[in-house]
Chains A and B, each alone.
Chain A
Amino acid sequence: MSDEKRESFSETEPHEADDLHLSVSRRRRVAPTLYGIMGEFNNPSDLVAAARRTYEAGYRRINGYSPYPIEELSEAIGFTRTSLPLIVLIGGIIGGLGGFFMQYWMEVIAYPLNVGGKPYNSWPAFIPITFECTVLVAAFAAVLGMLVLNKLPQPYHPVFNAPNFALATRDRFFLVIEANDPRFNHDETTQFLNTVGARNVSDVEI
């Protein structure tokens, strides 16, 4: 019995391994080894100007990296809509309603207590905790929603393979046109980044 079993395992194992191998190779075949092309810029205004021209040239899968937030940059790369405010609003509404009805349930249904002859549903007394719960859940929704939407924490990202990218936390500004952009063409895109004023253009490997 046990021998038979082992045999059947040994028969299936290579098959599975083979399958796994196939799927890996299939993924390799589809995905390019190139993540994108990166241009380096000396200052934020050059980066924003280049990002605007890149967007106007029809590129859509672009991203900018800088040592500090640049307000115009997200607008320049066409990142104008985010669903984060909606998530925070929904979190706030859930928190507010939850906070109010939690107190309502406790004071009116679960454990009614006569306090100073006031009605059980003494809504003015519920307002501070309703407010606190609104803020609490909205804040959680903001932080967690932000992490889900920007996919952080991210232990590996291809842009770190690029030369000089360590300077992105100091005094250098970067623009990446990703390889899966429909308009992407290695030579043309490299040429394009040179014309929009990049001091250095390099490939970013996956």
Chain B
Amino acid sequence: MMHVSYNAPPELKRLQQRALPIGGLLFGILVFGFLSNRGQFFRSYLFAFSFWTGISVGSLALLMLQHLTGGGWGLVIRRLLEAATRTLPLMLLLFLPIIAGAHWLYPWTHAEEIAKNPALVEKVRLYLNLQFFVVRAAIYFAVWLTLAFFLNRWSKLQDQTGERRFTKNMRVLSGPGFILFVFTVTFASIDWFMSLDPEWSSTIYGFIFVASWSLSALAFVIAALAMLTKYEPLKTVVAPLHFQDLGKLLLALVMLWSYFAFSQFLIIWSGNLPEEIRWYLPRTKGAWGVIALAVVVLHFAFPFLFLLSRSLKRNPHKLVLVAGLILVMRLLDLLWMITPNFTGDHFHVSWMDIVAPLAMGGLWLAVFGRQLSKRALIPINDPQFETVLQQAHSHSAHSVV
């Protein structure tokens, strides 16, 4: 037992070697989009950004959650979550084009049109102006990067020294950190996505992003864990029990997201006020209506029914399919939320809506893979490590993976 290596398998290198050139190549193709149709480029870019930032920030939330609760499920995904939070500097860099393209994205940057609408003049003067927008974004990233920095640093020191105080530090930071996460994500989603339509507002909008970003992060981590369990060292550490716990959490987050998303719909549908229902009308007609229905069935109903089953949750090969489906549906849901702000009733999806998430994903995965291979895949000096290892061994002989 003493000489077991917990370093990342060499197969992880292949991910980096493939993801980086593919991401780079697709970004090269996107340059043509930028030159030919700047408005569409920034819309697709914002859409892609909303997805990948969600995985980074959602991973930060799950990382703090598992420090607060403890448990084997958190220990086996901790290094994946930490690596995902270390992609935040990349997301900060990728945010800069959105500031540059604000004029193409946000109607509140058009002073002459705002002047025509007295309801918006004060809103824009006090809150929705580009200077304050940039300051607020800086605050969100500062909070996320600070939390990610300390949680990663203490985790590394815990690995090196095995001192208990780092475990305590991480737990103490995670409580207030989680509250900060909810506040920053609420404001960030209002700034970046809800203000695409400055006259429309929904008070539950921020919570939809709190739930959906955490959900996409968990789906991603489950998929990554299922793939890494094919190789050592995780093969002997991760047990069906861990997948079952992660599957339960996935079910809880699917239900939480459905609850928030449906609450927004129910309240606006019941009120049926012209300034609110305006947001749903184009999104429930024609092709967008079909997508809305697909989101209800494949983002809620199917994962919900599937994840009720104990044996399916314990089977990583099947759980990874649900996690993949949820990631695809997250993309579709974000497209459904963001795009009709620009196109209205008219259904239009550009080739850039497909290329942009893939291009950004290439860069994101390359950074993720590189960060993941830097440390042991399991926090070996965590006080819970021995227990987790015992769980895995007592199960491995008697249950089929």
Contact = CB atoms under 8 A, between A and B. Distances in A.
Interface of A: 48, 52, 71-72, 75-76, 85, 89, 116, 118, 124-125, 127-128
Contacts of B398: 52, 72, 75-76
A78 to B, nearest CB: 11
B159 to A, nearest CB: 28
A45 B398 CA distance: 15
Q: Top 10 closest A-B pairs, CB basis?
A: A124-B269, A124-B266, A72-B394, A75-B398, A116-B272, A125-B270, A127-B262, A124-B265, A127-B266, A85-B310
A125 B266 contact: yes
A141 B372 CA distance: 45
A85 B310 CA distance: 9
Interface in B261-306: 262, 265-266, 269-270, 272
B395 interface: yes
B204 interface: no
Contacts of B395: 72
Contact of A48 (B308, B394, B399): B394
A118 B394 CA distance: 59
Given A71-B241, A124-B270, 17 more contacts: A48-B394, A52-B398, A72-B394, A72-B395, A72-B398, A75-B398, A75-B399, A76-B398, A85-B308, A85-B310, A116-B272, A124-B265, A124-B266, A125-B270, A127-B262, A127-B266, A128-B266
A125 B272 CA distance: 13
Contacts of A72: 394-395, 398
A137 B244 CA distance: 25
Contacts of A71: 241
23 contacts: A48-B394, A52-B398, A71-B241, A72-B394, A72-B395, A72-B398, A75-B398, A75-B399, A76-B398, A85-B308, A85-B310, A89-B308, A116-B272, A118-B272, A124-B265, A124-B266, A124-B269, A124-B270, A125-B266, A125-B270, A127-B262, A127-B266, A128-B266
Contacts of A128: 266
Contacts of A75: 398-399
A125 B399 CA distance: 45
Nearest to B310: A85
A152 to B, nearest CB: 22
A161 to B, nearest CB: 32
A85 B399 CA distance: 20
A11 to B, nearest CB: 62
Number of contact residues on B: which range applies? Answer: 10 to 19
A75 B398 CA distance: 9
Nearest to A52: B398
Nearest to B241: A71
B8 to A, nearest CB: 30
A125 B267 CA distance: 9
Nearest to B271: A116
A124 B270 CA distance: 9
A85 B398 CA distance: 22
A48 B269 CA distance: 56
A89 B309 CA distance: 10
B162 to A, nearest CB: 25
A76 B399 CA distance: 11
A116 B271 CA distance: 9
Contacts of B241: 71
A127 B259 CA distance: 11
A8 to B, nearest CB: 62
Contacts of A124: 265-266, 269-270
Nearest to A128: B266
B312 to A, nearest CB: 12
Contacts of A85: 308, 310
Contacts of B265: 124
B144 to A, nearest CB: 34
Nearest to A88: B308
A128 B258 CA distance: 12
Nearest to A115: B270
Nearest to B394: A72
Contacts of A52: 398
A48 B265 CA distance: 51
Contacts of B262: 127
A125 B263 CA distance: 10
A76 B308 CA distance: 24
Contacts of B394: 48, 72
Nearest to B255: A131
Contacts of B308: 85, 89
Interface in B342-401: 394-395, 398-399
Interface string B306-328: 00101000000000000000000
Nearest to B398: A75
B9 to A, nearest CB: 29
A72 B272 CA distance: 54
A205 B44 CA distance: 76
B241, B270, B395, most chain A CB atoms within 10 A: B270
Nearest to B309: A85
